[in-house]
Structure 1
């Protein structure tokens, strides 16, 4: 039997799926009584064979140009324009990425994590807007920094963050925390985090301020950076800087860039906010020396030992959430004699 007759033979026992939208085509029957007439009409269809359905299916024929699997009935509306699976997926991705959605539900696992962090901070005197600085800094250091979008959604759902102005203030703080994470965890993870937030921000909630515009690596920057170092390290600053005596590039980097450009800026985040970026970001990487320095520095800022312990416990909580083991970092008690 000629190959061209196979789809015709298969059509005798089925209802038909969507015909191609190219050119005219006989209307499909609404019941089996019209199958014979339809087959006769289909045989007489003089369109090029490339435009005809070729692949037999158990319940109809399949048009390679059509991703729909609807069955035709007598009441079916005219077919929609042809769209391939690939073009449909690309269109869906474009639509999803361009449509701000700050009202999506938060993943329950992240919801529980953020609620736990907030509750733990509630036992301290640090304030109600500090816990999420630790949250964003640990997310930026985590294996999944894109889940900063979950934190943003969680915060947007809170009663004090429902207006555009409130969300603009919120994202300024989150963005500055990510900027200050750059010298701590590198630039790539904070970029992933801020991009994930940007995808779900509504246009009216976006903040276009630019905190580092006009920055210069000048004497004022140097003095600002070294002053912040002195506040954290006090009597230990000179000895710490001298660790880089044979590596002057790192001394310059610490004073001018890490502390000058990034950590000493106070346009958005204050001293404690900044330490809630630095200490959790360092500790999340299981780094013993610098974790010691910044537990000590946080204590020297005046944060009580018990509250530094809450910070330490919260970092461990987030690490456990991501199945990360922090087994090299010192405890608060181990650092206390050095304060």
Structure 2
């Protein structure tokens, strides 16, 4: 399947539901970057922004770039740059949106304690409080920076909310060959308040991108086989 045909199929399904209307392109871009098909992100972006106003284009651009940058922690900076740099080169000066929420937060005086509290809350929902604390203690025991990098980076929610982050991390992990970790983050979509439709969309999109770009997705636990009992936050 040619990229344009595949992207059109993903857009049609994504825009067909209010749950995934503004998520399809961030999930697809993440999957492409993780599958080391980053250069095709520019074509995806051009499809997603065709016919939009400049303000809407910048909205889409900001979210797409954040999705790739945020998930680069999971599949590597080189792959993220193979997605981002061709996109950067395609933009005219007036199209560029260069907002960075982490840079802005530091400029505006966000404290280390505030960042750590945000990371703690994010992972307590993802893993449950007891499991999150056990992971935190283990990280600090062996390498203190692991908690700092992983927790604080992924929990930033100015551009992508926690559900959208979990959708992106799910596809990033599936398309980079990490099915066990993908299972945790598929559960995370529901635990952070997302719907089963969102979880299915993220997973199905991962399978389509994976199959189109030669990624083995056979080891992934299907959404309908996951026990989501009592998964929603109380």
Partner of 2:46 in structure 1?
153
Partner of 2:13 in structure 1?
120
Question: Structure 1's 335 and 237: CA in aligned 2 closer, same or farther, altered over 3 A?
Answer: farther
The 3-state SS of whatever aligns with 2:2 is helix
Report the alpha carbon displacement of residue 195 of structure 1 after superposing the two structures with TM.
0.6
Question: Structure 1's 279 and 202: CA in aligned 2 closer, same or farther, altered over 3 A?
Answer: same
Report the alpha carbon displacement of residue 306 of structure 1 after superposing the two structures with TM.
4.0
Query: What is the aligned counterpart of 1:259 among 141, 151, 154?
Result: 151
Find the aligned partners of 1:330 and 1:320 in 2 and give their Cα distance. Answer: 16
Query: What is the aligned counterpart of 1:195 among 85, 104, 110?
Result: 85
Partner of 2:210 in structure 1?
319
State TM-score, norm by structure 1.
Answer: 0.61
Report the alpha carbon displacement of residue 115 of structure 1 after superposing the two structures with TM.
1.4
Partner of 1:169 in structure 2?
59
Work out which structure has the larger RCO, using CA pairs closer than 8 Å and 6 or more positions apart in sequence. Answer: 2
Larger radius of gyration: 1
Q: Deviation per CA, 1:240-280, whole angstroms, max 9, x where unpaired?
A: 445x369621x641x322221x2221221112221122111
Question: Structure 1's 238 and 212: CA in aligned 2 closer, same or farther, altered over 3 A?
Answer: closer
Report the alpha carbon displacement of residue 233 of structure 1 after superposing the two structures with TM.
1.4
Structure 1 position 229 matched with structure 2 position 123? yes
Partner of 1:182 in structure 2?
72
Question: Structure 1's 263 and 149: CA in aligned 2 closer, same or farther, altered over 3 A?
Answer: same
Q: Is the CA contact 1:217–1:256 (under 8 Å) kept in the aligned structure 2? A: no
- 1:17-166 equivalences under 5 Å are 109-157=2-50, 159=51, 161=52, 163-166=53-56
State TM-score, norm by structure 2.
Answer: 0.86
Q: Is the CA contact 1:149–1:196 (under 8 Å) kept in the aligned structure 2? A: yes
Find the aligned partners of 1:232 and 1:179 in 2 and give their Cα distance. Answer: 20
Partner of 2:223 in structure 1?
332
Question: Structure 1's 307 and 128: CA in aligned 2 closer, same or farther, altered over 3 A?
Answer: closer
The count of aligned residue pairs is 225
Q: Which runs of 5+ in 1 are unaligned?
A: 1-107
Q: Which one has the bigger helix percentage?
A: 2
Find the aligned partners of 1:147 and 1:337 in 2 and give their Cα distance. Answer: 34
